[in-house]
Chain A
């Protein structure tokens, strides 16, 4: 070997990346070549120099800047939903934020209501609603594991039972919509009546064709639903105002149609939400 044939291998040679035969040949050459020894020495020195050049970093100071520029938790999810809404926009008429808080306030979460300015009467009314609110955080958690588990928990808590269409209609005083239709691609598996704080309602398990399920609650009277501190957005899906909460990749959605209020837990995406809203609006 000579200097020319060795020169483009010296870097790999230093890093121990050559096969044993080539390594041995280069070692022999370098052992007798002052020029190549000089190159290796200088390359090693450059590496040392780069390491010596490193400075101590005050990462805390930069974190303060980053933190102040990061979106809040709620903003994060708003951005997320906006991203998700791209395919759904083809279905949904438009995306309207803020405005919806006025429309959905009656069954919105507590935080929104707390931050609003109200008259004394409105405060009292809100407090009444809060007292009747159902905390759905646990339901969401359980539904992620198994909708059946979530229903069982609700049955225990709200004196529930599974009924057929006729018995459910008699029990709650109106015919639940899901007995008549569910979107294509879903089957209603079971419907349960629950005695919630404000009224009686139904909770149905609906299965997709792949076996995964979601829950749909239907009320005639307003039933405040509380999703705790989970961030939410208010938007329009298929022309209907709805509040959406995301948890572990699943959506919980509340919307109103005529005299009915629906809450769905376990939707995969906004397209699915739109499908349900459209079907329930027929």
Chain B
């Protein structure tokens, strides 16, 4: 289910139900915490995986939800809960990236070990596509990965992205343009050509 579908479905549900879960989670009610988790877990997992990679996603997601439930009393119902959760997830994933300096390490590793001509062939398998995209994504910053994911995968509009990233809405367009351009350049460097797809 896409993000938009999921959000539309959520809108159809009573927002009061979500508010009840939030209040329950504030009291430490385990069932309410689980409902909240089930409500946002897939989206959180997807964006965190995009930012930190498959190897680290489980650990980071776990930390995010432990933090989320510890801080849930700070949610003031003044903004979308999903946006609040995304902001927390992105910030925590960025912290993880800064802590491990994984970005630089992995880019160096790929630069040293990858043979673009070997990886990119005219007969892409899905697995190879994923690998190429993963390699190219590592050329982007964590912010850019989060930005592209929210736009391309989750279908967030500029305003929602701006709220998650804590930047003016007008900044989102220019950053998105830069991220797309850099990802395209990275893919091109890896031998990817749109015409071959």
Contacts and interface: CB of A to CB of B under 8 A. Distances in A.
Interface string B58-71: 10011001100110
A52 interface: yes
Contacts of B66: 66, 69-70
Contacts of A102: none
Given A65-B62, A70-B33, A70-B69, A59 B38 contact: yes
B126 A52 contact: yes
29 contacts: A11-B173, A11-B176, A11-B177, A11-B180, A15-B173, A38-B195, A45-B194, A46-B183, A47-B151, A50-B133, A52-B129, A54-B46, A54-B153, A55-B49, A57-B42, A57-B45, A59-B41, A59-B45, A63-B37, A65-B58, A66-B37, A66-B66, A70-B33, A70-B66, A70-B69, A72-B28, A73-B29, A73-B30, A77-B28
Contacts of A79: 70
Interface of B: 27-30, 33-34, 37-38, 41-42, 45-46, 49-50, 58, 61-62, 65-66, 69-70, 73, 126, 129-130, 133, 148-149, 151-153, 158, 173-174, 176-177, 180-181, 183-184, 187, 194-195, 197
B171 to A, nearest CB: 12
Contact of B129 (A8, A49, A73): A49
Please classify the interface of chain B as helix (H, G, I), strand (E, B), loop, or mixed, using the class held by over half of its residues.
helix
Interface residues of A, number: 39
A41 B126 CA distance: 20
Contacts of A22: none
Nearest to A69: B66
Given A47-B152, A53-B133, 10 more contacts: A10-B177, A11-B180, A11-B181, A17-B173, A38-B194, A39-B184, A45-B197, A46-B180, A63-B34, A79-B70
Contact of B58 (A8, A54, A62): A62
